[in-house]
Amino acid sequence: MQSPYSCTLECQLTMQNKYPIGILGATGMVGQRFIQLLENHPWFEVAWLAASDRSSGKPYGEAAKWRLDTPLPDRIARMTVEPADPAGAPKIIFAALDADIAREMEPHFAAAGCAVISNSSAYRMAANVPLVIPEINAEHLHLIEEQPSRAESGGYMVTNPNCSTIGLVMALKPLEERFGIEQIFVTTMQAVSGAGYPGVPSMDILGNVVPYIKSEEEKMEAETLKLLGRLDGHAVTPLAARISAHCNRVAVEDGHTESVSIKLGNKLGRAVTRDDILSAWAEFTPLKLMHLPMAPEQPIEFAPQDDRPQPRLDRNRGRGMAVTVGRLRPCGLLDWKFTVLSHNTIRGAAGAAILNAELLRSLGKLDPAAPPDRSGSLQRKKDIELGDAIATGVTSLLG
Ligand SMILES: NC(=O)c1ccc[n+]([C@@H]2O[C@H](COP(=O)([O-])OP(=O)(O)OC[C@H]3O[C@@H](n4cnc5c(N)ncnc54)[C@H](OP(=O)(O)O)[C@@H]3O)[C@@H](O)[C@H]2O)c1
């Protein structure tokens, strides 16, 4: 199988040793994506797999019901699933646990000195936990330094957003930067894989639409404003925009589609045109010079056809990491409306967490055993500069 990474041969050869990583919740939908995406990763190697008591002690190939369309790697199939305990775990943990379990378990791993890079909603809105999409708000990673475990053991928690939030925010960020955003109205059509495995019973979803996903609308609304918010001192001030989300489950396997209407601000000092919006999306390549293996070359792709994007045809753009926008047109209620599509278990989950880990490594924050310089405002200033550097595509500050 061809390596899915954009990393050059040179960047692979300069890596003397890969970072050993662990996956918590390795047998689930997102855990399986981690295994698939980390196979042949130039910087990270899967060294530890953990799940519930139902799975621990068994070979992974027996414990997990492999649901992906690439073969389960032999080496992984033979690995024993370990109990979910930090003793003996590597210091970098990708976590794919249900929120209730994550709430209890992730802080134990952070306290034990692990960098916990989480998919769960448990700590996304905690004031001292960064909720990060590398293209959007890298500077929020400074919040790691506000976590007590960082000073005590070097460990910390970082989260990525909900799978429906991530596509929306990717499409909104370049528009917020150039024009400002005052109101957001979004309706989602979310794939069944977003509910984990076995997820929604087939009798409930086939030939049907379910207009309710527990807590999803609240998560989408709060996370969007935090991601687009400003790091002020020790916390994030959310974007001062109004937002309303409707979330629906539809009979699609992978790929969340969203219909979005927005009212723009007046940063430009004149009416925003269709070309202004298309340029903002096309020119949004904030990670371009960082050479992160998981980062897509073009994070936002515009599909000009009248009937695109569609999940089956567009979800794998940019190896599942690009967000596709289309159907841009004036809105009769707000200013503009369009459609967004993103792959929910790649860009919306495992791929998002791997990209966060790659960013952390590039910023020198992926060695929790060595707590950082804790000179307060100096460290914060440096983190904000790093975020700005990414936003402007300047990497000289990355050192
Ligand atoms: N699916 C998506 O598109 C998506 C997108 C973004 C975020 N997320 C979030 O990612 C997390 C995982 O989602 P998922 O879809 O992968 O769920 P899932 O398929 O239900 O998998 C859950 C995993 O957690 C493990 N687990 C359950 N109880 C445990 C315990 N007490 N101790 C240790 N491990 C335990 C399970 O192990 P066993 O197999 O042993 O039970 C399994 O590996 C959730 O928080 C979800 O909201 C999912």
d(C-alpha 37, C-alpha 94), whole Å: 12
Residues 302, 304, 306, 309, Cα dihedral to 10° = -30
d(C-alpha 59, C-alpha 81), whole Å: 6
216 Cβ contact partners less than 8 Å away, ≥ 6 residues apart: 162, 164, 188, 190, 245, 247
> For atom 22 of ligand 1, which residue has the closest CA?
28
79 Cβ contact partners less than 8 Å away, ≥ 6 residues apart: 46, 49, 59, 60
d(C-alpha 181, C-alpha 359), whole Å: 27
Question: Is the distance from the beta carbon of residue 52 to the nearest atom of ligand 1 less than 6 Å?
Answer: yes
- Residue 281 · residue 325 · CB < 8 Å: yes
Taking each helix axis from N to C end, the angle separating 163-179 and 216-227, rounded to the nearest 10 degrees, works out to: 40
> For atom 4 of ligand 1, which residue has the closest CA?
194
> For atom 30 of ligand 1, which residue has the closest CA?
52
Taking each helix axis from N to C end, the angle separating 274-282 and 163-179, rounded to the nearest 10 degrees, works out to: 120
Task: Tell me the per-residue pLDDT of 313-331, one tens digit each, with 9 for 90 and over.
Answer: 999 999 999 999 999 999 9
Q: Which of 41, 140, 142, 256 is catalytic?
A: 256
d(C-alpha 193, C-alpha 343), whole Å: 10
Catalytic annotation present for 291 = no
Pairing of strands 230-232, 235-237: antiparallel
Pairing of strands 156-159, 209-210: unpaired
Question: Is the distance from the beta carbon of residue 108 to the nearest atom of ligand 1 less than 6 Å?
Answer: no
Question: Is the distance from the beta carbon of residue 66 to the nearest atom of ligand 1 less than 6 Å?
Answer: no
Question: CA-CA distances (angstroms) from residue 281 to 71, 238, 262, 278?
Answer: 35, 22, 15, 5
CA of 64, closest atom in ligand 1: 39
Task: Tell me the per-residue pLDDT of 192-220, one tens digit each, with 9 for 90 and over.
Answer: 999 988 889 999 999 999 999 999 999 99
pLDDT in tens, the chain (399 residues): 344 554 444 444 444 589 999 999 999 999 999 999 999 999 999 999 999 999 999 999 999 999 999 999 999 999 999 999 999 899 999 999 999 999 999 999 999 999 999 999 999 999 999 999 999 999 999 999 999 999 999 999 999 999 999 999 999 999 999 999 999 999 999 999 999 888 899 999 999 999 999 999 999 999 999 999 999 989 999 999 999 999 999 999 999 999 999 999 999 999 999 999 999 999 999 999 999 999 999 999 999 999 999 999 999 999 999 999 999 999 999 999 999 999 999 999 999 999 999 999 999 998 744 444 444 444 555 555 555 555 544 343 332
d(C-alpha 117, C-alpha 149), whole Å: 14
CA of 352, closest atom in ligand 1: 6
If you measure from the C-alpha of residue 249 to the centroid of ligand 1, how many angstroms do you get, rounded to a whole number? 18
If you measure from the C-alpha of residue 97 to the centroid of ligand 1, how many angstroms do you get, rounded to a whole number? 4
Question: CA-CA distances (angstroms) from residue 146 to 49, 154, 155, 224, 259?
Answer: 29, 12, 11, 22, 37
Catalytic annotation present for 256 = yes
Query: How many Cβ atoms from other residues are within 10 Å of residue 111's Cβ?
Result: 16
